[in-house]
Structure 1
């Protein structure tokens, strides 16, 4: 996309005072919350350790302050991303009974179709409270969860080949592509934390990840307005190391300012991937890297009558990257002498959070 040549190295401002001029983001005051746009090709093509370290420091610096970056020139082509959205749209366009036949059933598996209202993401760990929130104001979205396909105990669920012939092979390739990008970004984080570049490699190589296709159907504004807590996805942090988020141009993602509590729009930027720190990476770093609360709200509605308006449909794709399920997460050697958290097993932590979310 032509906008990318101008964006890397600049900060994209998200405060209310931010404005666009000639297609570029105007820099907000220093006190405003911002998510940097980082040219990742500088890390991939670096010819000296100093060049690599410079980009690594940019990424870690952003994760320390905002917990989010826009990654530009990341190596995944626009054509591949567009194809991923097309395959996802075709899946969600299947008859409801076909999608329901692949229903999500188990938090350890975390695979299959999740119908509208089945999930209620939140920071609460109280199962009864989450159930009450789900009953009153469920997240208005549907999703398809895909994991590593060679797991014989917890297999993926796929539509039949005659229904969507290219869906499975494409999504398996896309899963691998996202995993490989995640590995490289984690190497940049290792350097930015003054660790060996390959420090995380053996701890994230088993691909215990979750590729989530998301569809937010169009909805009448009145339905969203019935309850102040109703959202397309409630405020939450992610569970693992990093989340790679591919957005369409509808928008709706909001990130919480860590100091004021205000939610700021993470406006889609063509050609970039939004990447944020998850809870386990934050915990690994003794909270040096920030796992920031975020949510998805409905974009401005379009009037369909004198008394009613409709919010547009939205698509996104999230690749939730996790450490290996047998990894023990404890304070990294150079992230403080007083660990804030006891060691925790990856699988136990993530499955516990999923069980709370869906129970």
Structure 2
């Protein structure tokens, strides 16, 4: 059953996914699917609880995340993010990438350069399917962190199991003719597992906009599944009051799921790809030490993306004479190029 999470202006809904986890009857699954679609329509973000990922694997994932970022820089640089924007894998050091709000800047080099003047104070390690030759993984040598590669590939595919159920639920909630309609567009090999470490930074640098953690943006994916630590700092735009943001307060073991640009386009704007950002945590203990250093923060987003040749074309159930298609068809590869070329 859906509920709301206290402490935010509009409140991010919570959907209990146990009817899918437990293979409940069709009526229960339909009820959950409709709740999920309504949350994606009204807010674009939702806490998914009672999913099938066990607490033990989530705890282990965060242990590995901390371990990889604790490695010396010279070791992490043995798996560097390749130059340019074409390959989105491996280690990105602080200041390499710049998250932007939309693709609207396009080829405006002056605007892009101005955007990049405020550095994002974070480091990243991106992982995908080892079978995706278009996006080859950049692995650390096994001796640098034994077991890291094995666990991360296991975790990648465990996340995809949940992702497929979320896509099936959305297909049902959107009245698509086939429960597997969306799953057929996503093999799982074009997804992206992102390990994120937000470094401590003087609070004054953030307040005076000399540095940023992650500016407001939307995701390029169909869906994003986010796992976050207890630090806080993720904020979601209140779509009923544009320009204002509400905290996505961490809930232990919950998935923070949000709609990406491609699903908004597919659904003809019925589902909402909402701006979100990472700022200073809202908690009283957000600063450490006399210099008001922000707490470090770890998070793990899992971006679910269709295969590169999949055509993003409006769902038949989201079209009518009164509501014609608002977007021209585009492949995932074409849209990815538009967004990635601005980030690096």
TM bucket, shorter chain: over 0.9
**Kept after mapping to 1: 8 A contact 2:75/2:144:** no
> Does 1:324 find its partner at 2:304?
no
Give distance in 2, aligned partners of 1:272 and 1:329: 29
Match of 2:230 in 1: 249
Match of 1:349 in 2: 335
**Deviation (angstroms), 1:46:** 4.1
Give distance in 2, aligned partners of 1:231 and 1:14: 24
Q: Summarize deviations over 1:224-269 as a string: whole Å, max 9, x none.
A: 23327x4210000001110000000000000000121211000001
Give distance in 2, aligned partners of 1:157 and 1:277: 27
Give distance in 1, aligned partners of 2:102 and 2:174: 30
Match of 2:26 in 1: 49
Q: Per the alignment, in what secondary structure is the counterpart of residue 227 of structure 2?
A: strand
Match of 1:302 in 2: 287
Give distance in 1, aligned partners of 2:200 and 2:188: 37
RMSD: 1.5
Give distance in 1, aligned partners of 2:90 and 2:113: 21
Give distance in 2, aligned partners of 1:213 and 1:37: 24
Give distance in 2, aligned partners of 1:113 and 1:33: 36
TM-score by length of 1: 0.88
Match of 1:3 in 2: none
List runs of 5+ in structure 1 lacking aligned partners: 1-7, 16-31
Residue of structure 1 aligned with 2:141, choices 138, 160, 166: 160
Match of 2:3 in 1: 10
Q: Per the alignment, in what secondary structure is the counterpart of residue 342 of structure 1?
A: coil
Match of 1:269 in 2: 251
Give distance in 2, aligned partners of 1:9 and 1:154: 37
**Kept after mapping to 2: 8 A contact 1:120/1:130:** no
> Does 1:122 find its partner at 2:100?
yes
Matches within 5 A, 1:28-43: 32-43=9-20
Give distance in 2, aligned partners of 1:181 and 1:342: 30
Q: Summarize deviations over 1:113-168 as a string: whole Å, max 9, x none.
A: 11111111112432522332222x11111100111112345421111111111100
**Kept after mapping to 2: 8 A contact 1:114/1:143:** yes
Match of 2:85 in 1: 107
Match of 1:24 in 2: none
Give distance in 1, aligned partners of 2:208 and 2:343: 22
**Kept after mapping to 1: 8 A contact 2:288/2:295:** no
> Structure 1's 47 and 151: CA in aligned 2 closer, same or farther, altered over 3 A?
closer
Give distance in 2, aligned partners of 1:303 and 1:47: 47
> Structure 1's 217 and 107: CA in aligned 2 closer, same or farther, altered over 3 A?
same
Residue of structure 2 aligned with 1:177, choices 147, 151, 158: 158
32-41 or 174-183: bigger deviation: 32-41
**Deviation (angstroms), 1:217:** 1.2
List runs of 5+ in structure 2 lacking aligned partners: none
Give distance in 2, aligned partners of 1:145 and 1:46: 32
Q: Summarize deviations over 1:322-353 as a string: whole Å, max 9, x none.
A: 01111000110010220000000111101321
How many aligned residue pairs are there? 331
294-303 or 269-278: bigger deviation: 294-303
TM-score by length of 2: 0.92
**Kept after mapping to 2: 8 A contact 1:179/1:207:** no
